[in-house]
Structure 1
Amino acid sequence: MNKTYIYIIIAVFLALVVQPNISVKLKETIRIPENQGETLMTNDNVDLKSSESKATICIDPAYGGVDSGFVSQGKTDSKDITLNLALIIGDTLKQSGYNVVYTRIDDSINFYKNEEENANYRINIAKDQKADYLLRIELNSNSDPLEKGYTIFTQPNDSLIDLSNEIAQNLMQINYSEFKGLDSDHYGNFPILADSDLSTIFIEFGYVSNPSDYSQMSDIEYQKKIASAIAKAFLNKIN
């Protein structure tokens, strides 16, 4: 038989028999992605569920404007640390489905000579924005550089005490500083906790005078961990 005819027969065989079988096998190995159109979870938000209550949380970063808070040479001012931390916490709470508002989003804020007037100003901002919760962020300082740790203050309300304990537990899990305690007995000493109609949690996030506390509270990556810990607490206890 002429070689030309042999080549033609082989070509026809490959086209009609072998190639279709290859195509079928290739189609069988193609994996169609599931859940197309859904948002892919990342390492940053995989542990966060979505809020059902859609509560409004007002975040109150202490100090601001002419009040720099605690200032140390070569260190970031307290007013800037509280603001940065507040904005990161707010972003994380928004990602969790909450409505977030602030008493300040930059360095401009009304100044009052006494703590009570300043607290009333911030409380009124929260209430005007129909906040369900007020989260106060403040820092501390001490002449003893070894003094460290964070404290949580709140009103004598079982739900708020439960939420505050959850926040403390979550902060301990990320090895943030050390927990000095939860105080709901002396709320009357703090004007920011005075309005019982506004559920308020006041956190002193440690001592700028302590090198370890300062290192954590001023570090952006640690601020993200703090924000996640707080968001998880709200989701678990308030949802």
Structure 2
Amino acid sequence: MRVMSESIAVRCPACGRRHRYTAPTYPCACGAPVAPSLDAHGTATAVTHRAWDEEWVDVRCAACGSDSQWPRPEMGCPCGTVLCVPVDRADADHGHGHGHSHGAPVSRGPARRAVPIRTALDAVTAAVLYLRGLGHQDVRRADQPPTAGIGLAAHGVVAQVDPTVRPASVRDVECLWLTAMAESADCLYFSLAGYADDARDRADRLGVPLFVLDPTGVARPVNAPAVALDATAG
């Protein structure tokens, strides 16, 4: 894996527009920046359906050799098409593994980072970055899908990322809390569109931290449990 971000030309198959895409860099557990390898000779494809277990790639740190799993690169075209950016085939195949980081654990993640949110996977990336800022370096896909959005898990914590345009419901919050209780884990909820009033009330009573992801990718705490948790983030 290359450490420096790459930039390649990406052509939209729907409208023919050409774009320049730069691979995002992510913090490894050791603190070094890592980035996925892009395939400059590959062809971008339109995202027409979601298969979340296929949309992650492993990124290997050149500094310490550990693997971390991140969402597959995507970008949005002004025509409305979401493009899957081609990655190096060896890396894409490698990314279908277990998704556990083998680096040494650290008590705090690197300095906070954010990625602009243009696609659903950008929202997932923002949530993963936040969880790693809390010290959870082994973030992976959750084994069980949530009631809405995308489920993430790490040792001792489960999280739900809702990239839809509807506010999260009280049922969504309750189901996340029940999942966490069943796994003896803490939980967090990340939403793009916020929360219904009864969902916020229930989250306060259950102690579920609620965050809203703003367009810049920053996770904003919106209830007291989230404010308390945010104060511990690196």
More strand by share: 2
TM-score (normalizing by structure 2): 0.30
TM-score (normalizing by structure 1): 0.29
More helix by share: 1
Who wins on radius of gyration, i.e. which is larger? 1
